[in-house]
Amino acid sequence: MPTLTLRKIKKSDLPYFLKWWQDRDVIALTSGCFDEPEANLRRYFANMLAAKNDRNYIILAGEKAIGHLALIHKSPTLFELTIAIGEKPYWGQGWGTRAVKGALTVAFGRLGYTKAFLEVRPDNARAIKAYENCGFVSKGLKKHPDNPNQPVTVRMERKKVK
Protein backbone atom coordinates (compact mmCIF):
# COMPACT_ATOMS: atom_id res chain seq x y z
CA MET A 1 0.00 0.00 0.00
CA PRO A 2 1.42 3.44 -0.91
CA THR A 3 2.43 5.87 1.83
CA LEU A 4 -0.16 8.45 2.88
CA THR A 5 1.07 12.03 3.07
CA LEU A 6 -0.70 15.27 3.91
CA ARG A 7 0.88 18.24 2.16
CA LYS A 8 -0.23 21.85 2.14
CA ILE A 9 -2.22 22.83 -0.92
CA LYS A 10 -0.59 24.97 -3.60
CA LYS A 11 -1.82 26.87 -6.67
CA SER A 12 -1.02 23.97 -8.98
CA ASP A 13 -3.58 21.81 -7.11
CA LEU A 14 -6.53 23.74 -8.59
CA PRO A 15 -7.27 21.11 -11.30
CA TYR A 16 -7.77 18.43 -8.63
CA PHE A 17 -10.26 20.59 -6.76
CA LEU A 18 -12.16 21.53 -9.90
CA LYS A 19 -12.44 17.83 -10.81
CA TRP A 20 -13.62 16.80 -7.34
CA TRP A 21 -15.97 19.76 -6.83
CA GLN A 22 -17.66 19.03 -10.16
CA ASP A 23 -18.11 15.29 -9.51
CA ARG A 24 -21.74 14.68 -8.55
CA ASP A 25 -20.89 11.55 -6.53
CA VAL A 26 -18.30 13.41 -4.44
CA ILE A 27 -20.52 16.46 -3.96
CA ALA A 28 -23.47 14.26 -2.95
CA LEU A 29 -21.42 13.12 0.07
CA THR A 30 -20.21 16.60 1.01
CA SER A 31 -21.84 19.98 0.44
CA GLY A 32 -24.53 18.84 -1.95
CA CYS A 33 -24.12 22.08 -3.93
CA PHE A 34 -24.34 20.81 -7.49
CA ASP A 35 -23.61 22.82 -10.62
CA GLU A 36 -21.63 25.56 -8.90
CA PRO A 37 -20.16 27.91 -11.55
CA GLU A 38 -16.44 27.33 -12.12
CA ALA A 39 -15.70 30.99 -11.31
CA ASN A 40 -17.12 30.41 -7.81
CA LEU A 41 -15.04 27.25 -7.39
CA ARG A 42 -11.88 29.12 -8.42
CA ARG A 43 -12.70 31.89 -5.94
CA TYR A 44 -13.29 29.35 -3.17
CA PHE A 45 -9.93 27.72 -3.93
CA ALA A 46 -8.18 31.12 -3.86
CA ASN A 47 -9.74 31.79 -0.44
CA MET A 48 -8.40 28.45 0.81
CA LEU A 49 -4.89 29.38 -0.36
CA ALA A 50 -5.14 32.76 1.37
CA ALA A 51 -6.54 31.48 4.68
CA LYS A 52 -4.23 32.45 7.53
CA ASN A 53 -5.46 30.27 10.41
CA ASP A 54 -6.84 27.29 8.49
CA ARG A 55 -4.74 24.37 7.27
CA ASN A 56 -5.67 22.88 3.90
CA TYR A 57 -3.97 19.71 2.75
CA ILE A 58 -3.89 17.49 -0.31
CA ILE A 59 -4.08 13.82 0.64
CA LEU A 60 -1.45 11.89 -1.29
CA ALA A 61 -1.38 8.12 -1.80
CA GLY A 62 2.23 7.77 -2.80
CA GLU A 63 2.55 10.50 -5.45
CA LYS A 64 -1.17 10.55 -6.41
CA ALA A 65 -3.46 13.28 -5.12
CA ILE A 66 -6.61 11.52 -3.91
CA GLY A 67 -8.41 14.07 -1.74
CA HIS A 68 -8.51 17.14 0.45
CA LEU A 69 -8.46 17.58 4.22
CA ALA A 70 -8.85 20.85 6.14
CA LEU A 71 -8.36 21.90 9.74
CA ILE A 72 -10.53 25.00 10.09
CA HIS A 73 -9.57 27.20 13.02
CA LYS A 74 -12.52 28.14 15.25
CA SER A 75 -10.72 29.16 18.47
CA PRO A 76 -7.31 28.56 20.08
CA THR A 77 -8.57 25.20 21.36
CA LEU A 78 -11.17 24.16 18.75
CA PHE A 79 -11.05 23.27 15.06
CA GLU A 80 -13.44 21.85 12.49
CA LEU A 81 -12.24 18.97 10.34
CA THR A 82 -13.40 18.47 6.76
CA ILE A 83 -12.30 15.76 4.37
CA ALA A 84 -13.21 14.45 0.94
CA ILE A 85 -11.60 11.59 -0.91
CA GLY A 86 -12.13 12.83 -4.44
CA GLU A 87 -10.70 9.84 -6.30
CA LYS A 88 -13.41 7.17 -6.23
CA PRO A 89 -11.07 4.18 -6.73
CA TYR A 90 -9.70 5.05 -3.26
CA TRP A 91 -13.09 4.98 -1.53
CA GLY A 92 -13.67 2.29 1.10
CA GLN A 93 -9.99 1.41 1.46
CA GLY A 94 -9.17 3.24 4.70
CA TRP A 95 -7.46 6.28 3.17
CA GLY A 96 -9.86 8.70 4.85
CA THR A 97 -9.38 7.09 8.25
CA ARG A 98 -5.60 7.22 7.87
CA ALA A 99 -5.71 10.86 6.76
CA VAL A 100 -7.95 11.88 9.69
CA LYS A 101 -5.69 10.10 12.19
CA GLY A 102 -2.65 11.87 10.75
CA ALA A 103 -4.40 15.25 10.85
CA LEU A 104 -5.48 14.72 14.47
CA THR A 105 -1.87 13.99 15.43
CA VAL A 106 -0.81 17.32 13.90
CA ALA A 107 -3.77 19.28 15.31
CA PHE A 108 -3.56 17.92 18.86
CA GLY A 109 0.24 17.94 18.84
CA ARG A 110 2.08 20.71 17.01
CA LEU A 111 -0.96 23.00 16.60
CA GLY A 112 -2.07 22.68 20.25
CA TYR A 113 -5.81 22.17 19.75
CA THR A 114 -7.72 20.23 22.42
CA LYS A 115 -11.08 19.65 20.69
CA ALA A 116 -12.27 18.81 17.18
CA PHE A 117 -15.68 18.66 15.56
CA LEU A 118 -17.06 17.82 12.15
CA GLU A 119 -20.39 17.54 10.42
CA VAL A 120 -21.38 14.65 8.20
CA ARG A 121 -24.46 13.71 6.23
CA PRO A 122 -26.56 11.22 8.23
CA ASP A 123 -26.73 8.84 5.23
CA ASN A 124 -22.94 8.72 4.80
CA ALA A 125 -22.46 5.56 6.86
CA ARG A 126 -18.96 4.90 5.51
CA ALA A 127 -17.72 8.31 6.72
CA ILE A 128 -19.46 8.02 10.10
CA LYS A 129 -17.78 4.65 10.69
CA ALA A 130 -14.39 6.11 9.73
CA TYR A 131 -14.86 9.04 12.13
CA GLU A 132 -15.88 6.68 14.94
CA ASN A 133 -12.71 4.66 14.24
CA CYS A 134 -10.79 7.91 14.79
CA GLY A 135 -12.42 8.53 18.18
CA PHE A 136 -15.23 10.89 17.18
CA VAL A 137 -18.54 10.57 19.02
CA SER A 138 -21.93 11.64 17.68
CA LYS A 139 -23.45 14.62 19.49
CA GLY A 140 -26.74 14.52 17.60
CA LEU A 141 -28.32 16.07 14.57
CA LYS A 142 -27.83 19.67 13.54
CA LYS A 143 -30.51 21.28 11.40
CA HIS A 144 -29.70 23.73 8.62
CA PRO A 145 -33.15 25.06 7.67
CA ASP A 146 -31.74 27.58 5.19
CA ASN A 147 -29.66 25.02 3.27
CA PRO A 148 -31.75 22.96 0.84
CA ASN A 149 -28.67 20.99 -0.20
CA GLN A 150 -27.81 19.83 3.31
CA PRO A 151 -30.79 20.34 5.65
CA VAL A 152 -29.45 18.05 8.42
CA THR A 153 -26.02 16.86 9.48
CA VAL A 154 -24.66 14.71 12.27
CA ARG A 155 -22.32 16.67 14.54
CA MET A 156 -19.43 14.61 15.83
CA GLU A 157 -16.79 15.66 18.37
CA ARG A 158 -13.47 14.40 19.64
CA LYS A 159 -11.28 15.62 22.47
CA LYS A 160 -7.54 15.34 22.76
CA VAL A 161 -6.57 12.21 24.66
CA LYS A 162 -4.15 12.98 27.47
Q: Is 102 exposed, middle or buried (0-12, 13-18, 19+ CB in 10 A)?
A: middle
pLDDT of residue 116: 97
* The pLDDT of residue 142 is above 90: no
Residue 75 lies in a domain: yes
pLDDT for the residue numbered 62? 97
What is the Cα–Cα distance from 87 to 119, expressed in whole angstroms? 21
| Residue 9 is assigned to a structural domain of this protein | yes
Residue 11, pLDDT above cutoff 90 = yes
9 vs 157: CA distance, rounded Å: 25
Global confidence as pTM:
0.92
35 against 48, higher pLDDT: 48
161 domain-assigned? no
Place 13 in a pLDDT band, splitting at 50, 70 and 90: very high
Does 141 fall in a domain? no
Angle between helices 125-133 and 95-108 (to 10 degrees): 40
For residue 24, tell me if it sits in a domain.
yes
Contact between 82 and 54 under an 8 Å Cβ cutoff? The reply is no
Flag whether 84 is in a domain.
Answer: yes
> In angstroms, rounded to a whole number, what is the distance separating the alpha carbons of residues 89 and 82?
20
Q: How many domains does the chain have?
A: 1
CATH number at residue 81: 3.40.630.30
Question: Does residue 106 belong to any structural domain of this protein?
Answer: yes
DSSP at 134: T
Provide the pLDDT confidence category of residue 43 given band limits of 50, 70 and 90: very high
Lowest mean pLDDT among 12-16, 33-37, 56-60, 88-92: 33-37
Domain hosting residue 90, numbered range: 4-115
Contact call for residues 127 and 96 (beta carbons, < 8 A): yes
Domain membership of residue 131 (yes or no) is no
Lowest mean pLDDT across 48-57, 98-107, 153-162 = 153-162
